[in-house]
Structure formats: C-alpha cells, structure tokens
C-alpha cells in the first residue's frame, strides 16, 4: 500500500501523520533507515510516521490505534497485491490481462 492512501484516510478521520521521513522529504526515495533495516523498497513506500510529544494524550493515541487497522484492511481489499489469505505469491500475475 502507498503511504499516501493511508494518509488520505487518516486525514478524513482528523488524524495528522506523514509518510516517509524528514531526511527524504522532497524525494521518492525511501528513508535510508528503512533501507538499512532491510525493508523492501515497495514496503518502505507504505510507511507512515506519527509524531508525538509530551502534549499528546492517551485517548489520542488510542484513537489512532483503533483507526489504523480498518484503514489497512480497506486498502488491502482494494489492492491487487493482497488476497484473503495474505500477500499474493506472484504480484506480476495480479496485473496480467485476463482474456476470455
């Protein structure tokens, strides 16, 4: 999933977040930290960053924790890369034309 899709749905719920990191803002490259962790390039584009401070309340954090799983489930339903049992084994086949 693209991080931007996650951000759009979070925004509809009034939750502010960002995709990527400050060190890669303005580029399409994933964070060097994500790459160092071995996160695949495509998965790194689905990362979402939440910034917290001492002024955040626990109910705000709980709200985000409740909001994220349904968003991910919704986007997975729309994704050709996911099936009901998890990631598809051959992503290229998900885009192969079907002729009848």
Catalytic residues: 23
**Cα gap 47→42, rounded to integer Å:** 10
Is 3 within 8 Å of 19 (Cβ atoms)? yes
Dist. CA 74–CA 67, nearest whole Å: 11
């Amino acid at each position: 999933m693209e991080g931007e899709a996650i951000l759009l749905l979070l925004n509809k719920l009034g939750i502010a977040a960002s995709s990527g990191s400050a060190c890669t803002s303005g580029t399409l490259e994933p964070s060097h930290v994500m790459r160092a962790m071995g996160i695949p390039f495509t998965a790194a584009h689905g990362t979402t960053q939440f910034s917290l401070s001492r002024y955040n309340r626990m109910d705000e954090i709980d709200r985000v924790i409740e909001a994220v799983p349904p968003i991910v489930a919704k986007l997975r339903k729309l994704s050709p890369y996911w099936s009901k049992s998890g990631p598809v084994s051959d992503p290229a086949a998900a885009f192969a034309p079907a002729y009848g």
